[in-house]
Amino acid sequence: MSTTNNHEPILSFKDVTFAYEPHVPATLKDVSFELPKDSFTVIVGPSGSGKSTILRLVTGLDKAQKGSVQNTARTRMIFQGGALLPWETTLNNVKVGFTGRKMSEAQKTHDAMAALTELGIDTLGDSYPRHLSGGQRQRVGIARALVSSPELLLLDEPFSALDIETSKRLSDEVLRIHSEQHITMLMVSHSVEDAVMLADRILVFKDGHIAEEIPVSLPRPRTITDPEVQAIIKHVQGTIPSSG
């Protein structure tokens, strides 16, 4: 059951400051932003700019030392590389998504198989992660995140370990899920191209704060060769300092 309406932000950061250890420079400095329901926000920025820390704070893996993080949504996450449990079959990995749900084992199996079927990998239910390709693992990770009907889906560099072709197919899949299931999405990415192709808003992080907020109002699906898409890519790239 949803706990939000369209007028309330599903997630809000207010003046959040965070450092991984005392006496070291803060990773995030007075960061404030909100995620409207059904939005697709992508955070880009160079390494060490604090992008992934945002996701750790949203999931509760870390706590902000100053400011507040308010998350009213049922939240799930898609990890870079899938983060599957190697000792479990694909089907059992998907069932991890049902943690905390009171369901019969038969119902879990049925729903997990349905999720695998939707992502085109139902033949891999009995396989172990070590026998899957990078793209297949990521699909299992997506299925695991989706079976519990999340309201907020976090994506941590979901395409970075994949080849271009697989990356394109999976980003299409993510976009389809976003439009069909109306899940609010917050993605962290190194790829400005991915950000512009998917997001309706891009947050550019620099030195632990939001350097620029760029709305992307082009209709989806977008084409990478579209001059308007290219113009936005160029603009975003111009705002990101070199990480070298």
Q: Is 50 in the site for another protein (CB under 8 A)?
A: no
Half-sphere exposure for 72 (CA within 13 Å, toward CB): 15
Q: Is 61 in the site for another protein (CB under 8 A)?
A: yes
Q: Rg of the chain's alpha carbons, rounded to an integer?
A: 18
Choose which of 12, 59, 72, 230 interacts with another protein (CB under 8 A): 59
Rounded distance between C-alpha atoms, residue 201 and residue 215, angstroms: 4
Burial of 161 (0-12, 13-18, 19+ CB in 10 A): middle
Per the DSSP assignment, residues forming a β-bridge with 15 are none
Size of interface with another protein, in residues (CB under 8 A): 35
Residue nearer to another protein on the CB measure, 76 or 201: 76
Residue nearer to another protein on the CB measure, 97 or 208: 97
Q: Which range binds another protein by CB under 8 A, 7-15, 80-88, 213-221, 232-240?
A: 80-88
Closest to 10 measured CA to CA, from 185, 143, 128? 185
Residue nearer to another protein on the CB measure, 124 or 192: 124
Minimum CB separation of residue 37 from another protein in Å reads 20
> Tell me, what amino acid is at 47?
S
- Contacts with another protein by CB under 8 A lie at 56, 59-61, 75-77, 79-81, 83, 85-87, 96-97, 99-100, 120-124, 127-128, 130-132, 136, 139, 144, 148, 154, 156, 169
